[in-house]
Homo-oligomer: A and B are copies of this chain.
Amino acid sequence: MRTPDELTVLFRSSGRKVTAQRQCIFRLLQGDETHPSAESVHVAAQLEMETISLKTIYQTLHDLTELGEIAALDVGTGRTRFDPNVEDPHHHLVCQVCGSVRDLVVDFPDMSLPAGADLGFELGTAEVIFRGLCPDCRKATSARSSPGVPVGRPA
């Protein structure tokens, strides 16, 4: 996504207003690689603005998604995750224990389908999700118990 300043211009030119809350959200998303959920953005935002509402978070994330500045993704953790990186095409690593998500900037050139395998589908994007254990949960698991904060439904 673009910088907060550029987003300010973009919002205005698309008829949206730029409030302190929205700028706060812009700043928080800027360079965030954790693929936050709406709720975690809310928590982070509340550190700066105690009264900011979850509704506002949802609305702004929705606006940003509409403008193509962030991507909404469902990796099966039960909440929608938001990805500020829409520049580089990439895939995702998902921790099966704590639900953390990281970008995977690897291109798989050989992922085209053999003729006839497409079952008549008109293909769009191919999205790869690698499931595994993040470094933290790896430590916690090999050691003893209590990993990070568990998240959402299994698979």
Q: A74-B74, A108-B110 are in contact. List 18 more A-B contacts (CB 8 A).
A: A74-B153, A93-B123, A95-B121, A102-B121, A104-B113, A108-B111, A111-B111, A111-B128, A119-B135, A121-B130, A121-B134, A121-B135, A122-B138, A123-B131, A123-B132, A124-B131, A124-B133, A127-B131
- In the complex, are the beta carbons of B121 and A155 less than 8 A apart? no
A135 pairs with B120, CB closer than 8 A: yes
Asked if B108 contacts A121 (CB within 8 A), the reply is no
Beyond A73-B155, A74-B155, is A122–B111 a contact (Cβ under 8 Å)? no
Q: Chain B contacts of A129 at CB under 8 A?
A: 126-129
A74 to B154, CA, bound (A): 10
The residues in A between 68 and 123 inclusive whose CB is less than 8 angstroms from any CB of B are: 72-74, 76, 93, 95-96, 102, 104-106, 108-111, 113-114, 117-123
Instruction: State how many copies of this chain the complex holds.
Output: 2
| A positions within 8 Å CB-CB of B | 72-74, 76, 93, 95-96, 102, 104-106, 108-111, 113-114, 117-135, 138, 153-155
